[in-house]
Homo-oligomer: A and B are copies of this chain.
Amino acid sequence: MAYELYYWDGIQGRGEFVRLALEEAGADYIDVTRQPGRGTGAMLEIMKSEAEPHIPFAPPFLKDGDLLISHVANILFYLGPKLSLAPEDESLRYVANGLQLTITDFVAEVHDTHHPIDVSLYYEDQKQEAKARSAAFIRDRIPKFLGYFERVLTRNTKGTEHMVGNALTYVDLSLFQVIEGLTYAFPNAMANSMAEYPALLALHDSVAKRPNIARYLASPRRLAFNEEGIFRHYPDLDAAR
């Protein structure tokens, strides 16, 4: 039976981390809200359902038969072994999950650069605060997170092409997406600093070239980044060149 992925239509958002894993593995999946005749209503129906025993707090969530799994890191922890995108060694799976949760925290901070005060308001209504938060994000947080991931990569005793173990995992795919998203949202800041992260850059480039990923990125299934998603390009929030 095909996996069913539920996420907001029209954006990459957090759903994209799951999509990249499913696409790399060539898995049979349905991106439910993008199906004709289903749409976002099909997702909201589950979220509001009285019959569903385990309602999710928010999308994305994955249905595998009767099982409903929510949160990106949880979905990837579940799918990883089934898609051959998790370490073989069981204890390394907790290492992969720890890295994915660090990515989760980083992505939440990316979101808050444009919504530092109130998610129910527009960016334009909190623009001054967004500028201040973005400045701190570019100055302190990008180097802290990317510096950490670079250190993990370069110290991987099994090879510096992968974040954990000696083979591709979903963590590598997610970091590709983080670099893509940051480069879209903060092109100047990333151009100024990316040379400090050569191993991450090499990882990004090698993921982009994987046949299934390259095919996916060139397909209409890969939506463009836009200002409704997590990674948004607002020139006022970026650094100077």
Contacts and interface: CB of A to CB of B under 8 A. Distances in A.
A102 interface: yes
A105 interface: yes
Contacts of A70: 98, 101-102
Interface string A2-40: 000000000000000000000000000000000000000
A: interface residue count bin:
35 or more
Contacts of A155: 50, 53, 55
Interface in A38-60: 50, 53-58
Contacts of A120: 136, 140
Nearest to A97: B74
Interface of A: 50, 53-58, 67-71, 73-74, 77-78, 91, 94-95, 97-98, 101-102, 104-105, 108, 112, 116-121, 129, 132-133, 136, 140, 145, 148, 151-152, 155, 157, 164
9 contacts: A54-B164, A57-B148, A58-B102, A67-B94, A68-B95, A77-B77, A118-B133, A120-B140, A129-B129
